[in-house]
Structure 1
């Protein structure tokens, strides 16, 4: 299943990497793409949206569906 969330506050490549690392640490995530220009993260795997949003927010960014 693919879930797309909006991620606000990414301004550079380092920000994208930080969000990727936060999402990789979520159990059940198998793959993801993060695009700072589109302010989106698309995540593949068996994980609920709330958990993804919490992981991104714990990394210091604003996230929502």
Structure 2
């Protein structure tokens, strides 16, 4: 089943940050898309059978923090 997850992300300051977070989230197995918004400091992730822990770990590995 497809799920939509909203993540609040701290630490992004530019489009380069957005690219890093997008790539990290899209690399998680099961993720079909990740839309990262710099102004809002959030990401909307569409995925199948992907846990919040997996998504948070991907954001952390890119150097940012889910709050």
The bucket for the TM-score relative to the shorter chain is over 0.9
TM-score for both structures, normalised by structure 1: 0.93
Secondary structure of 1:60 counterpart? coil
Q: How many corresponding residue pairs?
A: 64
The Cα of 1:38 is off from its aligned counterpart by 0.4
Give the RMSD, CA atoms, in angstroms.
0.7
Unmatched runs of 5 consecutive residues or more in structure 1: none
1:19 aligns with 2:21: yes
Unmatched runs of 5 consecutive residues or more in structure 2: none
- Residue 8 (structure 2) aligned to one of 6, 9, 22: 6
Greater than 4 Å deviation, 4+ residue runs? none
Residues 15-61 of structure 1 show CA distances to partners (whole Å, capped at 9, x for unaligned) of: 00000000011000001100111010100011111100010001100
TM-score for both structures, normalised by structure 2: 0.91
